[in-house]
Amino acid sequence: MSSMIEFVSAADFFKTVGNDERVYFLVRHGERDHIKPNDPDHGAFVGLTDRGREQALKLGKSIAASCTSGVSADCMFFSSPVGRCMQTAEYIGLGLGIDAPDVMPQQPLAEFFVKNYDAYMETHVTGFYQGICRWLDGTAADSRYVDPAYFPLAARSQEMVQFMLSHGKAPINIFCSHDAWIVPCLNHFCGLQFSPSRWMNFLTGLAVVIGKDQGSGDVGAVRRFVPVTGLDTGWMLF
């Protein structure tokens, strides 16, 4: 794991991507309505706000403006099946200039790090962000740390990247997911530190870059991991 670095804007990041490189962008959905504590579905059906849709559209336009000519027409879109993620991926595609983006739902993007569902659901009662931070902090203190809710951080983060590399075949591959599964990857690969009062923002995530001629599915082929945000800041403060 590298030393701690900071988020860069999507516009600045995509300008650095070479014609010989392929990008896998694991990104959180746009702004959503507030998830109420008594929501029986724990936010599964909470959608994007109007601003969330505008944010995603703007991110797509920013990527298109930053990339070399023609790149934006060759993209693949994957998403958690949750509606706000599917819609975010769609609006990013529209911003890229694609008339009808084909967004492929992928269940792993909804719950990839969950090992024990009952223990995971308990964190919705005891404190969701607190539970994730306990897992990350426990792993940082002892690599052998075992959390009742989640898979081991290092191995599962590697598997998340392998999942993306094995699915995305375009120059730009968008994987829209949730903060709960992007935060662990940002922590593991980039050294970013999170707390319940300092969290990741909407439309923010991890960009993974490999060479176009490198085999898919091999984390060893990754040239760089970059924390990227589509908003003014990658941080959300409470």
What mean pLDDT comes out for the span 220-233? 96
- Between strands 204-211 and 222-229, the pairing is antiparallel
Nearest residue to 71 (alpha-carbon basis) of 124, 2, 15: 15
The residue type found at 51 is R
- 111, 208 Cβ separation under 8 angstroms: no
Q: What is the pLDDT of residue 2?
A: 43
How much of the chain, in percent, has pLDDT values that exceed 90?
Answer: 80
Q: What is the pLDDT of residue 45?
A: 55
Q: What is the pLDDT of residue 47?
A: 83
Q: Which two tokens stand for residue 143?
A: 């690599």
At 32, the pLDDT band (50, 70, 90 cuts) reads confident
N- to C-terminal Cα separation, the chain: 27
Structural domain boundaries in the chain:
8-171+183-199+214-237
Residue 21 pLDDT > 50, yes or no? Answer: yes
Q: Any idea what the Cα angle at residue 107 is, between residues 137 and 165, rounded to 5°?
A: 75
Residues 48-88: pLDDT tens digits? 999 999 999 999 999 999 886 555 558 999 999 999 999 99
The residue type found at 216 is S
Residue 220 pLDDT > 90, yes or no? Answer: no
Burial of 229 from C-beta contacts in 10 A (0-12 / 13-18 / 19+)? buried
Distance between CA atoms of residues 211 and 2, nearest Å = 20
- 204, 177 Cβ separation under 8 angstroms: no
Q: What is the pLDDT of residue 218?
A: 79
8-171+183-199+214-237 belongs to which CATH class?
A: alpha beta
The 3-state DSSP class for residue 232 equals: coil
Q: What is the pLDDT of residue 214?
A: 78
Residues 87-136: pLDDT tens digits? 999 999 999 999 999 999 999 999 999 999 999 999 988 899 999 999 99
At 190, the pLDDT band (50, 70, 90 cuts) reads very high
Residue 39 pLDDT > 80, yes or no? Answer: no
Residue 223 pLDDT > 60, yes or no? Answer: yes
Distance between CA atoms of residues 174 and 108, nearest Å = 14
